[in-house]
Structures are given as structure tokens and as C-alpha cells.
Amino acid sequence: MVEHFGQKARPSRLRLGEQVAELLLAAIRLHEFLPGERLPSERELCARLAVNRSAVREGLRWLEQHRFIEIRRGKYGGAFVLNTPADLALERIRNRIPDLRQVLEYRAMIEPFAARMAAQRIGDLELEHLRDLHRREQTDLGLTRMQLRAIDVELHETIARASRNQYVFQAVREMRLRLAEGLDVTDRTLTRRRESQAGHTELIQALERHDAVAAETAMARHVAATQRAIVAALADKGIDLLPDAVASPVAGRGHHTA
């Protein structure tokens, strides 16, 4: 049975090659492998995913055809993760606008709830890990956009895991997968970086106090800021993500302003 790296895979009717492609794509979208990095060798993938080499090669071919990886031959070859140029990011998202809209609405409900639960249950080691991640994103000015996104994913997954509810954690993880294409179209400006880090500061401080209400409020503001960034980026491309008839759940609760 194919397994995600460290995670049990859900039952699937997909062929093994398609499952391999799906799991590797999830790892790429969650920034477990960053642009320029080499994926594990075919031999290692066979061992880690418990599939044969033909399934691995089929999965890698799909990723290459869809421009997620580049397969290089020779002594220093392998499968390398590609950066996503702006035109490709926009091409990928155009047909997913209704889904992205629903993901953002769902996120506005689930992640604040996850933060509320985490504030009541989080442990000292998890808090220290959050502080370490936050210090890194604040002090290392040489981090690439994708490295910052990898830190962001880990921070949000740590909070979701601290909820001690596997369904909440899986929901947050699934949202990050579906949110990735929306984030690909946004510009990572210094202003946006500071806004994101300020949201993380507020979140971590609330979690340190074990203040469930403050943690929920901080997360609601934080996800609303991300939503605004995605909406604005798509509007610049002539795409209306949130029509007037669709109100933001966050805005309705008074948390829309960051």
C-alpha cells in the first residue's frame, strides 16, 4: 500500500503510479521538497512507498509532464523540483476558482477552531518549536519565498497537531494542499511578509497564555489577511475570486481587519 512520507495514505482506487504522483505532489505543495531540490532516488521511493519501479517512474513522468519536476540524466541526474513561474501559476488556478473560494471559506472556519483547541492543549515542546520557527522567519532575511512558505506550513501544522484531534489536523493539512495554488499567484512583498509575521506573533503569544479566545481571534485575522492577498493578486489578473454575493465568513465575525 502506498504511504505518504510518515503518513498513512487514504484508501484509493487510483493506479499505483497515480498514487505515487499524488503523494509526491502533496509533498511538493507542502514544501517538503523545495524548488531546486532533488527528490529521493527511484530506489529509495520504491522502498519508502512500497511500490515497484514502474509505478515510481509513471508517477515521476506525470509530474514532469505537468511541470512540477525536471528529470535530469547522467551522473548527477535525478528528479528536481521546479519553481512555478507566474504564468503557470495563473494557468493552474483559472479552472479552480470555485474550489479555491470554498477552501478559503472552509479555512476561515476550521483554522480558528484549531487554534482555539490548541491553546487549551498545546505543550511546552510545541510552543518552543513555534518560537524557533518564528525566530527563523524573522531573523533570516536570506530565506527564499518557498523557504518562508515551508516555515509557514510547519507552523500551521504544529498548531493543528496541538489540537490533539486527528480530524482537525487532517483538515488543516488538506486545506494547505488546496491553498498552495492560490498562494502561488500572490506576490511575497516585504509588507506582506511583515503582515504574516505579525499574525504569527499574535498567535504564538495567545497560545503561550493558553488563551483560547485570543488564539481563535488571532488565527481568524491571520487567515483573513492571506485571503485578502490572494483575492487582490487574482483581481490584478482580472479574476474575481469573491463575487459580491459571496460574503467572507471572517468578515461577518468582525475579524477581517488585520
Higher pLDDT, 165 or 246: 165
Q: Is there a single domain that holds both residue 166 and residue 128?
A: yes
Q: Is the pLDDT of residue 6 over 90?
A: no
Do the domain assignments include residue 236? yes
> Is residue 186 within 8 Å of 229, Cβ to Cβ?
yes
Return d(Cα 229, Cα 253) in angstroms, integer.
19
**CB-based contacts of 169: which residues, under 8 Å, 6+ apart?**
114, 157, 160, 161, 163
Domain boundary among 83, 107, 140: 83
- Looking at the fold, whether 78 and 200 belong to one and the same domain comes out as no
Number of domains the chain contains = 2
In this structure, the answer to whether residues 26 and 69 fall within a common structural domain is: yes
* CA distance linking residue 158 with residue 136, whole number of Å: 15
Poorest-confidence range of 119-133, 206-220, 237-251?
237-251
User: Which CATH number belongs to the domain containing residue 23 in this structure?
Assistant: 1.10.10.10
Position 147 scores a pLDDT of: 95
Report the mean per-residue pLDDT for the chain: 89
Burial class of 121 by CB neighbour count within 10 A (0 to 12, 13 to 18, 19+):
middle
How many other β-carbons are positioned within 10 Å of the β-carbon of residue 237?
Answer: 12
Last-in-domain residue among 25, 49, 83: 83
For residue 47, tell me if it sits in a domain. yes
Q: Which pLDDT does position 38 carry in this prediction?
A: 97
Lowest mean pLDDT among 48-52, 176-180, 210-214, 250-254: 250-254
Mean pLDDT score, 182-210: 93
Q: Domain check: are 129 and 67 in the same one?
A: no
Mean pLDDT of 14-31: 92
Confidence category of residue 74, pLDDT binned at 50, 70, 90: confident
- Give Cα 254 to chain centroid, integer Å: 25
Domain end residue (candidates: 45, 61, 83): 83
User: Based on the domain organization, do 97 and 77 belong to the same domain?
Assistant: no
Task: Give the span between the Cα atoms of 32 and 223, in whole angstroms.
Answer: 22
pLDDT value at position 138? 94
Backbone φ, ψ for residue 101 (5° rounding): -60, -45
Q: Are residues 190 and 174 in the same domain?
A: yes
Which residues constitute the domain of residue 245?
87-252
Q: Cβ distance 219 to 203 under 8 Å? A: yes
Average pLDDT over residues 62-70: 97
Residue 145 has phi, psi (to 5 degrees) of: -60, -40
Residue 15 pLDDT class (50, 70, 90 cuts): confident
DSSP per position, 174-204: HHHHHHHHHHHTS---HHHHHHHHHHHHHHH
Give the mean pLDDT of 27-38: 96
- In this predicted structure, what is the pLDDT of residue 187? 80
Q: Are 193 and 167 members of one domain?
A: yes
Q: What is the mean pLDDT of residues 23-48?
A: 96
* CB 181, CB 234: distance < 8 Å: no
Domain at 159, CATH number: 1.20.120.530
Q: Coil, strand, or helix at residue 79?
A: strand
**Could you give the CA distance from residue 23 to residue 177 in angstroms, rounded to a whole number?**
11
Q: Which of 199, 205, 204, 206 is nearest to 222 (CA)?
A: 199
Helix (H, G, I), strand (E, B) or coil at 215: helix
The pLDDT of residue 14 is 65
Residue 244: pLDDT band (50, 70, 90) is: low
